[in-house]
Amino acid sequence: MTDFSAEQKRYLEGMAAGMAVMKSVAGAGPGPAAQPAPSGPDALHLVAQDKVLAGGQKLADQEKWKRAEHPLDAYARLKIDADAGKAPNPQDNFRWRYHGLFWVAPAQTSYMARLRIPNGILNHWQFAGVADLAEKFGGGYVHVTTRANLQIREIAPESAAPFLEGLSDLGLTARGAGADNIRNVTGSPTAGIDPQELIDARPLARAWHFHILNDRSLIGLPRKFNVSFDGGGRIPALEETNDIGFQAVEVLDGAAVPAGIWMRLALGGISGHRDLARDTGVVVKPADCTAVADAIVRVFIAEADRTNRAKSRLKYVLDRLGFEAFLAEVEAVLGRRLDRVEATQVAPRPPIDRMGHLGVHPQRQAGRVHVGVVVPVGRLSVDQVRGLATIARDLGDGDVRLTVWQNLIMSGVATERAGEVERRLADLGLSAQPTSIRAGLVACTGMTGCKFANAHTKEHALTIADRVEARLALDVPVNIHLTGCPNSCAQHYIGDIGLIGVKVLVGDDGDTVEGYDIVVGGGFAENAAIGRVLWTGVRADAAADHVEALLRAYLAGRGGPAETFQQ
C-alpha cells in the first residue's frame, strides 16, 4: 500500500490518531465528516490538509487545487488542452509547474520550462540536445539560472508536451521543477575535481535527486523547498540560502562522534525573507544525508502552514517550533537520535575563491584544468550552447557544470589545451576571463519574461556592468545581484550590492517607472550576511550612477584590497 519505512508508518499513524481525536472533538463543526484516515503516498499531505479544515481554517487556493486533482495525475488532460493551443487557467498553470512548465503571460504568451540537473552537471550531448529543443520548440536561447539549472522560454502551448518528452529522450527531466516541490538540487560545481574539497558531493546530490523523483509523497509540499550539498571546495554552493544546507566539515578529535569528514546540517535558509540557514549543531554521515533530508521534509509536510503562502516555508516552521523541537520531530521520523558536535570541534571551512568559477584553474587530477566561462547574465544562444558542448566534447571530459552564479565550467581540459579552449570561446563571442564586476553579476529573468517583475533586470545589469567597467578599475570581485521582485530569484540580499525591482512614482498622477531599492553589505560562505537597504525608489536610469557611487566610496574608504565590501 505504501512505501514508508516502519518508522514513517508509526509517525503517520500517530498523526492520523491525533486527527481522529480532533474530529471527535469537532463533532459536526466546520470540518468535513469523519473519514477513514488517508493512506498511500499522498496521505501525509491529506492528513495535514484535513487538520486545517478540521480547525475551521481555509486552505490556500493552491492547496485546494492539489486536493481536487493531483498535478502529477493531470498530465494527460493538460497535454490535450495544450495540444489544442489553449492557455491554461490558474489552476492548470499551477499543475503544469509540477511538470516544469510555467505559463508566463502577460510577460510572454508562452511557457517557460525549467529543468532539473542534479548538482548542475550535464554532459555535452545533453547540453547540445537542450539547444536543439530550445531551437525547435522555444525562443532559440537558453538561460542559466541561479540554481545551476537551465530554463527555456517562449514555448508555445502545442509545443509544451513535445518539449517535455524531448527532454526525456535526452535522459533529462523537468518534473517537480516548479510549484510546491523540492527544486533543483545544487552542489559544489567543481565536485570531484577541486584540489581542496573535503568530499565529492556529486553522489549525495544525485542520490537526493533520484530519491525525490521516485517517491510521490515527496512531491507536492506545502511550498517550494531547496536543498544543497557543499563539498568544502574552492567554489561555494551557497548552501546557506537553502532550506536544507549540507556542508562538508572536518570534525576534530575529541568530539562526540568519530573524527573525520561529516556533513554539517543547516536549516531554514530563505534569503528573500532575509534569513540564512542556521547551523543546527547536527552532523550527518555523508551516506545518511538522504535519510535525514527525507525525515526533515516529512516533518515540514506535517507542520507547515497550509493557509498562508507567505508563511509556509520551512523558516516559519522553525520560527514557530524552535530548532530543538523541530529536530526532535525529525528524530521521531528517523527513529534515532541525530549526532551533534560543538562548533569548536569542527575545523573552519577551507577558504573560498570568489573568482574560482571563472577562468583557468588546476584540478586535483594532475595535468588537467577546469575552465570557467562568463555567461553574461546567464543568457546563451542555441549556437553558443552547441559550440560549448562541442568544446566540452573535444577538449574536456565531456561534462558541462552550471554554477549558481549563472556561469558554467568545462572540466577535464588538458593543461596545454586551455589556450585552445579560450580561442574557441572567443569564436563563440564568449570569454573565460571575467572582470571583477562580471564574475559576480547575477540577474533574474526580469520584465522580459516574468509577470512579477518590476524592472528589466538583465538589461539593467549589463548597463551597470558596462558603465562601471568603463569608469572604474576594480581589483577585487564585487557581487551585484538584480532581482525583479520580492521573490528574490537572484538573491539580492546576499550580493555586496543588491537591487530589487520596484515601481517608482513619477509626478502626481500615479504614473510609475521601473526602479530599484538598493541593498548593500550582503555576503555568502564565510562572509554570509543579509544586506541592508540603503536607498529606496531609485529610478532604473539612475541605478548605474548609484552603483558607481557605492563602488567609488568603497575604493576610497577601504584599508586595502583585503578589506571586503561588507567591512
Task: Tell me which of 71, 396, 484, 515 binds ligand SF4, using CB under 6 A.
Answer: 484
Q: Count interface residues toward ligand SF4 (CB under 6 A).
A: 12
Q: Does 134 bind ligand SF4 (CB under 6 A)?
A: no
Please state whether the peptide bond connecting residue 30 to the residue before it is cis, i.e. omega within 30 degrees of 0.
no
**CB of 312 or CB of 488, closer to ligand SF4:** 488
Q: How far is the CB of 503 from ligand SF4 (least distance, A)?
A: 12
In the block, which residue shows the cell 530548532?
Answer: 323
Angle between helices 43-54 and 61-68 (to 10 degrees): 130
Position 452 contacts ligand SF4 (CB under 6 A): yes
**Phi, psi of 385, rounded to the nearest 5 degrees:** -60, -45
| 280/457 with CB nearer ligand SF4 | 457
Select from 25-33, 219-227, 477-485, 540-548 the region that touches ligand SF4 (CB under 6 A).
Answer: 477-485
Phi-psi region at 32: left, alpha or beta (left = phi > 0; alpha = psi -120 to 50)? beta
The one among 450, 464, 525, 540 contacting ligand SF4 by CB under 6 A: 450
- Smallest gap, in angstroms, from Cβ of residue 446 to ligand SF4? 6
**CA dist list (Å): 204 to 58, 187, 215, 286:** 38, 9, 17, 7
User: Is residue 453 within the footprint of ligand SF4 (CB under 6 A)?
Assistant: yes
Q: Under the criterion CB under 6 A, does residue 489 sit at the interface with ligand SF4?
A: yes
Name the minimum Å distance from CB 6 to ligand SF4: 41
C-alpha cell at 151: 530554463
Give 445: exposed, middle or buried? Use CB within 10 Å, 0-12, 13-18, 19+: buried
DSSP for 79-144, please give it. HHHHHTTPPPPHHHHHHHHTTTEEE-TTT-SSEEEE-B-GGGEEEHHHHHHHHHHHHHHS-SEEEE
- Return the range that interacts with ligand SF4 (CB under 6 A); candidates 127-135, 244-252, 461-469, 484-492: 484-492
Of 45-53, 228-236, 448-456, 539-547, the segment contacting ligand SF4 by CB under 6 A is: 448-456
Give the binding range for ligand SF4 (CB under 6 A) out of 54-62, 123-131, 170-178, 485-493. Answer: 485-493
Within 10 angstroms of residue 290's Cβ, the number of other Cβ atoms is 18
User: Candidates 21-29, 149-157, 442-450, 518-526 — which segment interacts with ligand SF4 by CB under 6 A?
Assistant: 442-450
Q: Smallest distance, Å, CB 447 to ligand SF4?
A: 7
- Residue selected from 188, 241, 445, 479 as contacting ligand SF4 according to rule CB under 6 A: 445
Residue 487 engages ligand SF4 in binding (rule: CB under 6 A): yes
Q: Is the separation of the CB atoms in 59 and 50 below 8 Å? A: no
Question: What strands, in cross-sheet order, belong to the sheet with 480-483?
Answer: 441-443, 480-483, 497-505, 512-520, 532-539
Q: Is 179 in the site for ligand SF4 (CB under 6 A)?
A: no
Query: What are the phi and psi torsion angles at 226 (to 5°)?
Result: -120, 140
Q: Is 488 in the site for ligand SF4 (CB under 6 A)?
A: yes
Which residues of this chain interact with ligand SF4, rule CB under 6 A? 444-446, 450, 452-453, 483-485, 487-489
